[in-house]
């Protein structure tokens, strides 16, 4: 593991903006991407808002002929990868395609395709299901479609570890470069807005009626969202040789499992992941300048996450800036930690920490510095991107300013 790995390209599609520049500006203005759901009728549900991407037109990024044969999640992922490629100024033809690959995370995969299959089956019967839909559904198509689009013939992985999947994917992609098994990796996560997820989280009584308020005493839940975040990773040596703009360095990452409950978070598992991240990088709590929290806005998640932060960071916990951008984007499922990794990379690049919006009333159980409502100019050299997922899967990506 001798190669240093850096981020040289950023592609993001979110409810607050498409493309690095638009996303970053909206994030630091505290823009909310939450709006009335338009993709399906919510009249039978108690909640009606979500983080849909309303201004996404895949033909702006992809060959229109391709979009007829893929699902929306693949469209989001492939478009974000195209944006990342353009942002990196990378000439793929100058690299060995067999050493250039893809590692993507997802929670739901091509869920909208599954919804089409289900609708046809229920309304008309099994024999009326379009066979082409079956080939578009498996989660692996997300990575294979992206690889085929960019003609990347190297490692091709899909990591479906739910809402921590983006961190898993970026971390593993960085391992492939560090170990010399790949030169270039497109890594991140994607999920399209899903009626299945919306129904499921409503049945868990986990969706807020109008807005997401992480760490607020009166928080009422999360918001279902969608999006994609993809970064271009390459060896530092390669980036310097081609004089690429370097956003940040991937220092290391850590993983843990709560082994506790399928949906309920548990502070000890989260704390173990954060502690592993410190140890893996040889850092102390005082070295960390910013922590991008999982911060869903549900009572249980925020309480347990704050408890974990206190266990690991001790006295530093009350001074450490900890914000949740899900307050603006909603919960983008498998895309969440990849988009949050992008936010961390831009935070260390620009010494600017994004806020937690909708914060109104302090909660004694969440007595952290959540960077309430307004972004903060602050020297930021090390950022932790902490994520958790159903099944108790936790991942923490450590992002460092490149100097």
201-254: per-residue pLDDT in tens? 999 899 999 999 999 999 999 999 999 999 999 999 999 999 999 999 999 999
Question: Quick one: average pLDDT of 257-277?
Answer: 93
The pLDDT tens digits of the residues spanning 142-153 come to 899 999 999 999
Higher pLDDT among residues 304 and 129, named by residue: 304
119 part of the active site? no
pLDDT at position 263 over 80: yes
The answer to whether 97 and 185 are in contact (CB under 8 A) is: no
Question: Quick one: average pLDDT of 159-169?
Answer: 95
pLDDT at position 363 over 90: yes
The torsion angle over the Cα atoms of residues 323, 327, 331 and 335, rounded to 10 degrees, is: -50
The answer to whether 222 and 390 are in contact (CB under 8 A) is: no
165: helix, strand or coil:
helix
The token pair at 376 is 């903060």
Compute CA distances 324 → 2, 48, 124, 288, 399, whole Å: 33, 22, 44, 16, 16
Q: Which of 273, 281, 306, 331 is catalytic?
A: 331
Q: What is the pLDDT, as a whole number, of residue 119?
A: 66
The answer to whether 253 and 167 are in contact (CB under 8 A) is: yes
Architecture of domain 252-400: 3-Layer(aba) Sandwich (3.40)
The torsion angle over the Cα atoms of residues 338, 340, 342 and 343, rounded to 10 degrees, is: 170
260 part of the active site? no
42: helix, strand or coil:
coil
Q: Which of 103, 163, 273, 396 is catalytic?
A: 163
> How large a percentage of the chain has pLDDT more than 90?
83
The whole-angstrom separation of Cα 74 and Cα 279 is 36
- The model's pTM is 0.94
Burial 289-328 (b: 16+ CB within 10 A, else e): bbbbbbbbbbbebbbbbbbbbbbbbeeebeebbbbbbbbb
* Alpha helix (H) residue ranges in 103-259: 111-123, 131-136, 141-150, 165-178, 195-203, 236-241
Report the mean per-residue pLDDT for the chain.
93
Higher pLDDT among residues 79 and 112, named by residue: 79
For 311, phi then psi, to 5°, come to: -65, -40
Nearest to 103, CA basis, from 65, 142, 66, 67: 142
Name the DSSP class of 156: E
Q: Please report which helix (H) or strand (E) contains residue 273, including its range.
A: helix 267-281
The whole-angstrom separation of Cα 104 and Cα 248 is 19
370 part of the active site? no
Name the DSSP class of 355: P
Q: What is the pLDDT, as a whole number, of residue 112?
A: 67
pLDDT at position 304 over 80: yes
Phi-psi region of 136 (alpha: psi -120 to 50; beta: other; left: phi over 0): alpha
Which ranges in the chain are annotated with CATH 3.40.47.10? 5-241, 252-400
Compute CA distances 228 → 115, 129, 222, 340, 385, whole Å: 20, 28, 18, 11, 16
Q: Which of 103, 212, 273, 294 is catalytic?
A: 294
The pLDDT tens digits of the residues spanning 11-38 come to 999 999 999 999 999 999 999 999 999 9
Architecture of domain 5-241: 3-Layer(aba) Sandwich (3.40)
Question: Quick one: average pLDDT of 148-177?
Answer: 96
49: helix, strand or coil:
strand
The token pair at 120 is 């046809």
For 241, phi then psi, to 5°, come to: -65, -40
């Amino acid at each position: 593991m001798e190669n240093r790995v850096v981020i040289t390209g950023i592609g993001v599609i979110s409810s607050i903006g498409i493309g690095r520049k638009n996303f970053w500006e909206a994030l630091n203005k505290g823009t909310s991407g939450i709006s009335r759901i338009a993709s399906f009728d919510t009249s039978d549900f108690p909640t009606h808002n979500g983080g849909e991407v309303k201004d996404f037109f895949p033909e702006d990024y992809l060959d229109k002929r391709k979009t007829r044969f893929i699902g929306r999640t693949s469209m989001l992922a492939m478009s974000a990868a195209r944006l990342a490629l353009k942002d990196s100024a990378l000439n793929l033809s100058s690299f060995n395609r067999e050493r250039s690959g893809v590692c993507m995370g997802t929670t739901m995969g091509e869920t909208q395709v599954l919804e089409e299959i289900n609708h046809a089956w229920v309304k008309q019967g099994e024999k009326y299901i379009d066979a082409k839909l079956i080939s578009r559904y498996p989660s692996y198509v997300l990575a294979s479609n992206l690889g085929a689009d960019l003609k990347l013939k190297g490692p091709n992985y899909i990591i479906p570890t739910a809402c921590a999947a983006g961190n898993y994917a970026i971390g593993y992609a960085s391992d492939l470069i560090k170990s010399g098994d790949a030169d270039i990796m497109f890594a991140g996560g994607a999920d399209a807005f899903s009626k299945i997820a919306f129904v499921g989280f409503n049945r868990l009584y986990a969706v807020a009626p109008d807005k997401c308020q992480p760490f607020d005493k009166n928080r009422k839940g999360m918001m279902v969202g969608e999006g994609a975040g993809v970064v271009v990773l390459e060896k530092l040596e390669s980036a310097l040789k081609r004089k690429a703009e370097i956003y940040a360095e991937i220092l290391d990452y850590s993983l843990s499992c709560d082994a506790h409950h399928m949906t309920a978070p548990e502070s000890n598992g989260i704390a173990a992941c954060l502690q592993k991240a410190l140890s893996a990088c040889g850092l102390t709590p005082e070295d960390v300048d910013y922590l991008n929290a999982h911060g869903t806005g549900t009572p249980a998640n925020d309480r347990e996450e704050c408890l974990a932060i206190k266990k690991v960071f001790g006295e530093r916990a009350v001074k450490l800036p900890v914000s949740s951008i899900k307050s603006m984007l909603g919960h983008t499922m498998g895309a969440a930690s990849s988009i949050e990794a992008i936010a961390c990379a831009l935070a260390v690049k620009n010494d600017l920490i994004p806020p937690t919006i909708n914060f109104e009333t302090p909660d004694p159980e969440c007595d952290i510095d959540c960077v309430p409502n307004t972004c903060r100019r602050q020297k930021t050299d090390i950022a932790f991107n902490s994520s958790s997922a159903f099944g108790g899967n936790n991942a923490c990506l450590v992002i460092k300013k490149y100097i």
